[in-house]
Amino acid sequence: MTRLTRAVRALVTALATVLAMTGASASARAGADTGAPKEFVALSAVDPTIIQEMRYFTPHNFVGRRVDGYEQPICILTRPAARALHKAQLTLLRKGYTLKVYDCYRPQRAVNHFVRWAEDLGDQATKGEFYPNVDKTRLFEDGYIAEKSGHSRGSTMDLTIVKLPARPTRPYHPGEPLVPCFAPKRDRFPDNSVDMGTGFDCFDTLAHTLDPRIQGAQRANRLLLKSTLESAGFVNLAEEWWHYTYQPEPYPDTYFDFPVSWKSLTAAD
């Protein structure tokens, strides 16, 4: 999630309004009605061995419910990003690990849902797990939420590493007790990921990839993910150990809005 100050956030909002008035906002919502360009693919069609745990299709995320635009639990990426991820997967399989993705392409309508949630200061239902040490009024200033996300361009994903053989994990049940995302792994919600020091989507500086407080096996696990993905052409977002973007991006300036569904992948055929 790109870091934005309140002033920059206001500027982005104003600019978006101007673009909409001039008809130039099409690139910000490309594919909303026509489906995905043919350059987008289902990750499972490129590499079915990569585990998919699509968190925003479930209620186990910081919003606390299924996020707008996630109609099916599938990972969609641009073809170059999916092929590069397959390359990284082959490297990890030889070492006894597999990749697991939490999120891939993210429609703009989902990002808008995040923004609405962040602006609703009365909704603190997930604070105990995802942002226990952060005041919700600071989610924009601290860079955890923004009006645009690189995920909407199709070449960014959130992912981790799982030791093989992968142990199945139980589903989250809304209303169950929440545990801080930076608690010891044994105390957090079950996740067959190797221990990365925090859970996915942990709004805390401990989630910074190279935070010096993360040492030992946790740091080694982060570095294994980082080195493997960088060798395949990905770049990490320093504030989130799970966030990687394939470069060069096929659509560096286009934010798509087609839903996450199989139908989106066939609509343009």
| Residue stretches of the annotated binding site | 151, 158, 243
Task: Report, as residue numbers or ranges, the catalytic residues.
Answer: 240
Closest CA to 227 of 244, 215, 240: 244
DSSP calls for 193-216: B---SS-TT--SGGGSTT-TT--H
- What is the tens place of the pLDDT at every residue in 107-119? 999 999 999 999 9
Q: Is the model's pLDDT at 37 over the cut of 50?
A: yes
pLDDT in tens, 46-58: 999 999 999 999 9
Per-residue pLDDT band at 269 (split at 50, 70, 90): low
Q: What is the pLDDT of residues 135-164, one digit of tens each?
A: 999 999 999 999 999 999 999 999 999 999
pLDDT computed for residue 202 by the predictor: 99
Given a cut of 80, is residue 168 above it in pLDDT?
yes
Domain locations in the chain as residue ranges: 6-266
One-letter amino acid identity for 52? Answer: Q
Binding residues for Zn(2+): 151, 158, 243
**How high is the pLDDT of residue 21?**
37
Amino acid 267: pLDDT: 72
User: Which pLDDT band holds residue 14 (cuts at 50, 70, 90)?
Assistant: very low
* Phi-psi sector, 246: left (phi>0), alpha (psi -120 to 50), beta: beta
Local confidence band at 27 (pLDDT 50, 70, 90 cut-offs)? low
User: Who has greater pLDDT, 99 or 174?
Assistant: 99
Mean pLDDT of 247-266: 98
Is the distance from CB of 190 to CB of 166 less than 8 angstroms? Answer: no
Task: State yes or no: pLDDT of 28 exceeds 90.
Answer: no
State yes or no: pLDDT of 19 exceeds 50.
no
Mean local confidence (pLDDT), 251-261: 98
Mean pLDDT of 198-211: 99
CATH number, domain 6-266, options 1.10.760.10, 3.30.1380.10, 3.40.50.720, 3.30.360.10: 3.30.1380.10
pLDDT at residue 23, rounded to an integer: 40
